[in-house]
Structure 1
């Protein structure tokens, strides 16, 4: 066989095996021609929308199910695949790690994002840097006259997202965007290759971005910011004009509809869903978190917020149905959350749980005193850095270096001082007779782990140990991870609550899918948020994200032969393009040879 013909035969064989392989499901094999197999390459679906609800426990969907109307949450509960038992597989349940895990399909030990912020003394000695802070770039769209702050980027994200893989595999033909009120929630799930990410300037409420993505706002975004929609949101929230938008409007339903209106402007302005390959929008709703911290998960106000989100999602999904070619039949929607939330300590304590609050400032001061007593008696050296928050307590390497103490000795010393520091937070009540009512809760240390223990895998060989292992991050310098008893948290404003623990209330989140490949139903059995990226990447026919450890949720997938889309898009896959290109080349080379033989 001639070299050209042999190459063409191999190419055809490889391409056919690439396009005809069925998705990994328990269903029968697809019998349709390879070119019709649904995948991102032929714009099936036209658009993937990832909705992340910030601080949204999965039990909300059942507790408030009777409240829901239309096609908001009911789109998933009645017509989608609804996983009731989705739990994060790590202990550091915060916003930045959660959004990173959703996009990458990896834990913190894979994507590197351990918290919302951390100390990086090589970059700043006066404040912790945020998870997306990047002084190499500038913010775009901030009103003139406001204080200049560093730009933002996904520089700290050490793994690709499913959106990144889509961009890579389609050679940039697919568009990927992220939107949220928060910068980290817009940037991290979308990934490093995203076309853009947008979040609000907290003071003014204007949507902004960073020079990492673009030198100036697109015309459609500028038009939205100048449209008067900000003033409308302030009026709907009964917030004063000129006040900090994030603080006054962010905790109200007005911020949800405002954010979704911006998402509509983005979809229209960026022509999402109108390309030859699938596009992706990650949309993180922040208001549930802003309010939830203030009032807790059991407040009527939070229930009203959940109901408002339901109404606004109904409106948004109806808009998608009218504005995407083929309607919702050409859209996949995934719904999850970045973390759950603990009950307000007073509420949990009222039921007899040991729901104490932890005075972190006093805890750090007591630890500094203990370390001075051990290493520098009579002095007031700051062995722990300022601006501490749980679960990671960060050490000051320079202070230990001056005393000739290495990292292992330093972290071991903090770890050994922790039990007494916790005990000193609350002096036990002295009883002269049996108590006649429940005693007040007291802070208690459950476990602690040094950075070196986590990095070296010196952890319990148990499911709990795995949660800690998955929480390891190389960021933050020297640190000790602190795990207090369940239902205990750092001191909050009266009536408020928090999240950051390995306990189920912080790890339990919804995981729901709607779209052509998903078999509607209620699915029991443990799954994890890492499964979302793995499942979407598989269905789109692209590579798994670089650090993905998730499983493909085959139990919720229809047989491939049963997956249909309205208005099929006659776009050939890349493999078919290559076949035709090779055929054209082979034909062109064969014509001169044939002509020579005929002469």
Structure 2
């Protein structure tokens, strides 16, 4: 009996030791796996997508595109851009840095460089050369961006094992989101019709990009022409097809459907950007990048930063109320459905994290506003600047005192003013007084004295977040609601107002439960939210806060 008891006791002890070892082993395995992250993060910026486009065409969207995103994803419905000017390069860089132009330094697509005495392009880099064509369209890099991006921080967090790739028709839409440490960034060269990059990333294009270029994808899309996806009479959310405030394409008699794209096969590749096929081509290349680079197939999280730019070109040419704009979004919806199906098949639902946002919105076309008895119009800057320069020369003996203007800002020749021993504050005051007399101008301010202006606090903050001492101008003029500098055809953007600053912000997939919030959030919160979800550091200039309604679910 005693022997049986001792044997039974021994068995219990062995069992306890075994269980303890199993627990220890399990803890070690969990520890060695580290934090849980998705296989891949896919960021999609839809250029010039006003927030209301999520719902304006909702009844016409398919179940698998925008509707799926809204119904399966989490939408921060009241997401705003916190700075002005609301311009493409600023938007892409601010989403991915979690900062604003004041900090990341991207104050516009272009700005005046006082040292070089010329305009500086946001992605310009004369130390690199084009890869993939003989044009200068590849003389680009992210070096002008002063902070890291969320894509950079993912690379840092994984000791550069994560793969990061940027893709967009626009160089700035690809380069700035991909960040400084990206493996690659690709953009479209209108001169050759090729997708290209620069020596900042590589010495030659990968075989898969070369093979894609050999197919001449733009010509294949040109061959289809552009007619409406559905019967044209069904486009009841849009104006009539032929409007004088829509700009026709070269070679066309009117800005109307069908658009004869076959005219441009083998030439004029810039025109593909102003058609919905530009988005299709972009997402085709994105899928090819995932497959060819085996993104999301390793133990580390990869990041694909995509920007669909055709929406912006179409908006600039035809305006947000055109049949062309509606058709572009209906076709993008189909492209999104196809893209989501591809991600599902490649990674499985719930294994990838997807988010969609926009770099800015758009104003209604001035002619459309006038036609419907609404306030709005265009502003011609040239004659006003000429008047200011003339009066400064007469009163302060400084010729051509305004060196340049960009993004609603005047850059004064500080050296000439100093040499003439003129009163710089008085010169700026004169310019401000003249600008304030213009019917289209809401107000004008000295950017070095924003703290003491009488502007509404929200507008003051927008100007402050957009102001970088080394790159911004001296005087900023704010136009009245729905007024903009530009031509009488098509639209543009750049204002602090909701039509330009209210953007979509929707997350879907990995660790995202369906839902919505109407709490006010900002463009800068996207990078902070991604950092929280991925358990990595925020970008070096990030001022955003995580969208806790999403991260605390």
Q: Quick check: 445-454 or 513-522, which moved more?
A: 445-454
Q: Is the 8 A contact 2:168 2:282 kept in 1?
A: yes
2:467 maps to 1:453 = no
Q: Which residue pairs with 2:121 in the alignment? A: 130
Q: Show the counterpart of 1:587.
A: none
Say which is worse superposed, 280-289 or 127-136, in terms of deviation.
127-136
The answer for the alignment partner of 1:114 in structure 2 is 107
Q: Which moved more, 1:315-324 or 1:300-309?
A: 315-324
1:265 aligns with 2:288: yes
Query: After the TM superposition, which residues 195-234 of structure 1 pair with which residues of structure 2 at under 5 Å, given as runs?
Result: 195-234=183-222
TM-score by length of 1: 0.78
1:241 aligns with 2:265: yes
Helix, strand or coil: the match of 1:132?
coil
Shift, 1:49, TM fit = 0.3
Could you tell me whether the CA contact under 8 Å between 2:218 and 2:272 is conserved in 1?
Answer: no
Report Cα offsets for 1:421-444 as digits up to 9, x if no partner: 463x6xxxxxxxxxxxxxxxxx33
Task: Give the Å deviation of 1:165.
Answer: 0.6
Aligned partners of 2:473 and 2:92: how far apart in 1? 24
Instruction: Specify which of 539, 543, 549 is matched with residue 543 of structure 2.
Output: 549
User: What SS is found at the alignment partner of 1:329?
Assistant: coil
Q: Distance in 2 between matches of 1:446 and 1:61?
A: 30
Q: How many residues align?
A: 492
Contact 1:415 1:480 in 2 (8 A): no
Residue 488 (structure 1) aligned with residue 483 (structure 2): yes
Do 1:43 and 1:278's aligned partners in 2 also have CA atoms closer than 8 Å? no
**Deviation by residue 1:384-405 (Cα, 9 ceiling, x = unmatched):** 235x333222223343244234
> Secondary structure at the residue paired with 2:177?
coil
Gaps of 5+ in 1: 1-31, 426-442, 560-599
Residue 153 of structure 2 aligns to a residue in which SS?
helix
Structure 1 residue aligned with 2:424: 410
483-492 or 42-51: bigger deviation: 42-51
For residues 28 and 274 of structure 2, the distance between their equivalents in structure 1, rounded to whole angstroms, comes to 49
Q: Would you say 1:369 and 2:387 are equivalent positions?
A: no
Task: Indicate the larger mover: 263-272 or 171-180.
Answer: 263-272
CA deviation after TM superposition for structure 1 residue 491, in Å: 2.5
Q: Is the 8 A contact 1:68 1:74 kept in 2?
A: yes
1:360–1:34 CA distance, 2 compared to 1 (3 A) = farther
Partner of 1:141: 132
**Counterpart position of 1:564:** none
1:103 pairs, out of 96, 107, 113, with 96
Tell me, which stretches of 5 or more residues in structure 2 are unaligned?
Answer: 1-25, 226-260
1:476 aligns with 2:471: yes
Partner of 1:385: 403
Change (3 A) 1:37 1:117: farther
DSSP-derived class of the 2:466 partner:
coil
Contact 2:166 2:186 in 1 (8 A): yes
What pairs with 1:167-566 in structure 2 (closer than 5 Å)? 167-237=155-225, 238-239=261-262, 240-246=264-270, 248-324=271-347, 327-376=348-397, 381-386=399-404, 388-405=405-422, 409-410=423-424, 412-421=426-435, 423=437, 443-454=439-450, 462-476=457-471, 478-492=473-487, 494-557=488-551, 559=553
**Partner SS state of residue 282, structure 1:** strand
In the superposition, relative to structure 1, how do residues 411 and 518 fare at CA in structure 2: closer, same or farther (>3 Å)?
Answer: farther
* Kept in 1: contact 2:105–2:471 (CA 8 A): no
Whether contact under 8 Å (2:316, 2:490) holds in the other structure is yes
Quick check: 1:54–1:286 contact (8 Å CA) kept in 2? yes
How does the TM-score come out when normalised to structure 2? 0.84
The one of 154, 157, 164 equivalent to 2:142 is 154
Q: Distance in 2 between matches of 1:43 and 1:198?
A: 29
Deviation at 1:533, TM superposition (A): 0.6
Partner deviation per Cα, 1:236-282 (whole Å, 9 max, x = no partner):
34241233212x11111111111111111211222111121100011
Report the CA distance between 1:118 and its aligned residue: 0.8
Relative distance call for 1:318 and 1:113 in structure 2 (3 A) is: same
- Does the Cα contact within 8 Å between 1:47 and 1:280 map onto a contact in 2? yes
CA separation in 2, counterparts of 1:422 and 1:554? 42
Instruction: Quote the RMSD (CA, aligned, Å).
Output: 2.4
Q: SS in structure 1 opposite 2:75?
A: strand
Cα-to-partner distance string for 1:275-311 (whole Å, 9 max, x where unaligned): 2110001100000100101121111211111111111
Distance (Å, rounded) in 1 between the aligned partners of 2:295 and 2:425: 50
CA distance in 2, matches of 1:398, 1:214: 41
